[in-house]
Amino acid sequence: MTGPTDPAEMTGPTDPQPAEGTGPAVTTWQPAVASPLLRRRGAVAGTGPDAGVAWHYGDPTAEQRALAAGGAVVDQSHLGVVTVTGPDRLTWLHSITSQQLAGLAPRSSTETLVLSPHGHVEHAAGVVDDGATTWLITEGAAAAPLAAWLTSMQFMLRVEVADVTADWAVLGEPVDAEGGEGEPVTWRDPWPHTLAGGTRYGLPDDEHPGLDRPWRQVLVPRDDLLEAVAAREAAGWRLAGTWASEAARVEAWRPRSAVEVDHRTLPHELDWLRTAVHLVKGCYRGQEAVARVHNLGRPPRRLVMLHLDGSGHLLPEPGAEVRLPGEGGRVVGRATSVARHHELGPVALAVIKRSTPVDTDLLVACDGGDVAAGQEVVVAGEGISADRPAPSAPVARGLGPRTTR
């Protein structure tokens, strides 16, 4: 059976072309370090952006159930870790990325984006500060480019940037809690709560399926990875692979930069203004484009969850074309994440044209025949946020308010 990230060679979610600046696209997925947990009996190695850790350990359904019940740990040691130290670290990061970071309290988690001048997503990182160091958790292949870009932006400020991926490993846990005093550095995923200064293009927080996915990432010294996992297993937890964690992420509509982002991605398209963008904090690279789309425009694409027809036992690969039904059906987007969920069956996230009717079933290309897919709306087809300012005058299509005499 083909897995959600199991193509023999995966070259990125939809398009290997770079964005302006550093760019999010990765054409090869080479893990910096293969996890020692891959030596576990029954371990099946992940591929694509999850290369270097286990896809599963022999029983993916049981692993998913343990994760959903709050009793599993996921090896995410393939992720990247970047640190920023120095007295100017938070105000500096605040000034060059999309999130309100000035004054971030110790052990308080958030996330931020590095955007191009045109507002396209170049990097995404979970952010937590321990009082002396700001920790950025990102995709493994993105750590070195992110550290390089940050270093290029230092100028005369009192900050030091380091890629510490070789020294620190990440463990994922289904726990809704920040790290406490004396505990390891921990990033608590804020998704899907709309943070202060953010907005949403999808469901209200209290109706969002992501509420059922508590998630945090704990940083441990890489040399202590096996010991940290053994301690959790001794407490009754199960070791799970990325099959389980990715299925839960897809169910929660949670965007991931390694797969949902290409060189054209605007954060609005993925409903990422909930947690990663502060709309009123002031200027940063890409801020004008973000504000323009929010206040006057509409994102050209939208994230959608697809419920795939599993009767034919076919599972598309990430990057597969999504088309309208009918002979010669027009291509409207691509699948970005594909998973087999233990309850929902085969599901996917896809980025499609915003104009695609929300009540139309779609087709996803697959070896052996197209797979029918029902839509579940993530980003509203209208392309307007919940708190978009009302125009002060009639608005021409694609323009600001018209002047009246």
How much is the pTM? 0.90
Span 209-231, mean pLDDT? 98
Q: For residue range 302-312, what is the model confidence (pLDDT) as tens digits?
A: 999 999 998 87
* Nearest to 278, CA basis, from 269, 289, 290, 266: 290
Distance CA 388, CA 91 (A): 28
* Mean pLDDT, the chain, integer: 90
At position 122, the amino acid (one-letter code) is E
Domains of the chain: 36-291 (3.30.1360.120), 300-377 (2.40.30.110)
Q: Predicted confidence band at 390 (pLDDT cuts at 50, 70, 90)?
A: confident
Tokens of 354: 């915003």
Q: For residue range 13-70, what is the model confidence (pLDDT) as tens digits?
A: 333 333 344 444 444 566 667 999 999 999 999 999 999 999 999 999 999 999 999 9
* Nearest to 242, CA basis, from 159, 140, 148, 151: 140
pLDDT of residue 172: 98
Q: For residue range 148-163, what is the model confidence (pLDDT) as tens digits?
A: 999 999 988 999 999 9
> Cβ(287)–Cβ(337) under 8 Å?
no
Distance CA 103, CA 26 (A): 33
> Cβ(362)–Cβ(325) under 8 Å?
yes
Q: For residue range 264-294, what is the model confidence (pLDDT) as tens digits?
A: 999 999 999 999 999 999 899 999 999 999 9
State which H helix or E strand residue 257 sits in.
Answer: helix 257-260
Question: Cα 241 to chain center, whole Å?
Answer: 17
pLDDT of residue 33: 74
Q: Predicted confidence band at 402 (pLDDT cuts at 50, 70, 90)?
A: very low
Distance CA 79, CA 67 (A): 19
Question: Cα 353 to chain center, whole Å?
Answer: 19
How many Cβ atoms from other residues are within 10 Å of residue 208's Cβ? 21
Tokens of 29: 């997925």
Tokens of 164: 């510490």
pLDDT of residue 24: 42
How many Cβ atoms from other residues are within 10 Å of residue 27's Cβ? 12
pLDDT of residue 393: 60
Distance CA 365, CA 69 (A): 34
Sign of CA dihedral 74, 77, 4, 24: positive
pLDDT of residue 32: 62
pLDDT of residue 394: 61
Span 159-168, mean pLDDT? 98
Span 129-135, mean pLDDT? 97
Q: Predicted confidence band at 392 (pLDDT cuts at 50, 70, 90)?
A: low
Where on the phi/psi map is residue 148: left (φ > 0), alpha (ψ -120 to 50), or beta?
alpha
Distance CA 153, CA 156 (A): 9
pLDDT higher than threshold 80 for residue 327? no
Tokens of 281: 């904090």
Span 178-207, mean pLDDT? 97
pLDDT of residue 391: 73
